[in-house]
Structure 1
Amino acid sequence: MPTEDERRTVRLTAGGPMLVQGPVRIETPTGEVVESDRFLVAICTCRRSKAYPLCDTSHRRKRRMDDRSDEPST
C-alpha cells in the first residue's frame, strides 16, 4: 500500500481533461510512453488534442463552437 507521500491525486473535470499530480509517466494504448515533470499534468480525455495524451485545450474550441449554435440566428 502506498504511503500518503506516494499517492497521486487524480481530478476528473466535466468536459475537460483529467488532472493528475505530477510527475507522471503515461503509457498509451499504442505503447507510446510520455513523461512529464510538471507538478500538475492535464491528460486529454476527448482525444482532440494535437499533443495527445497531453491536453492542449482543443476541447474548449469545440465547446465554443457548440455554444454558438445555441444563439439565435440573425
Structure 2
Amino acid sequence: MSPERAQRVVVTGDGPVLVEGPVEIDLPDGSRVVSQRPVTALCVCRRSARYPICDTSHRTRKKTEESS
C-alpha cells in the first residue's frame, strides 16, 4: 500500500466493516490475515466462522413453519 493513498473504510449499520483494497489484518493473538480482494468485509459481531472475515453470520434467519 502506498502511503499517499488512503484506504476507504465503510462502517455499515447492520453488518460488517468494508475495507477497500488489499489489506493485512493484525489480530490480537499476533497472527496476520491477508486479503487480496478489492473490498474485504470485516466481521464486527464475532459470529463468523471465518473471523476476522465476515461470512454473513450476522444476518438474522427466519424460522420456517413446520408442516403438520
Partner residue, 1:43:
42
Partner residue, 1:71:
none
Partner-residue secondary structure (3-state), 1:41? strand
Kindly state the Cα deviation for residue 30 of structure 1 after the two structures are TM-superposed.
1.2
Please list every run of 5 or more consecutive structure 2 residues that lacks an aligned counterpart in the other structure. Answer: 64-68
Q: Number of residue pairs matched?
A: 61
Q: Where has structure 1 moved over 6 Å in runs of 4 or more?
A: none
CA-based RMSD: 1.3
Partner residue, 1:23:
22
Q: Give the TM-score normalised by the residue count of structure 2.
A: 0.81
Alpha-carbon distance in 2 for matches of 1:25, 1:33: 7
Q: Give the TM-score normalised by the residue count of structure 1.
A: 0.75
Percent same amino acid among aligned pairs? Answer: 51
State the one-letter code of the partner of 1:13. T
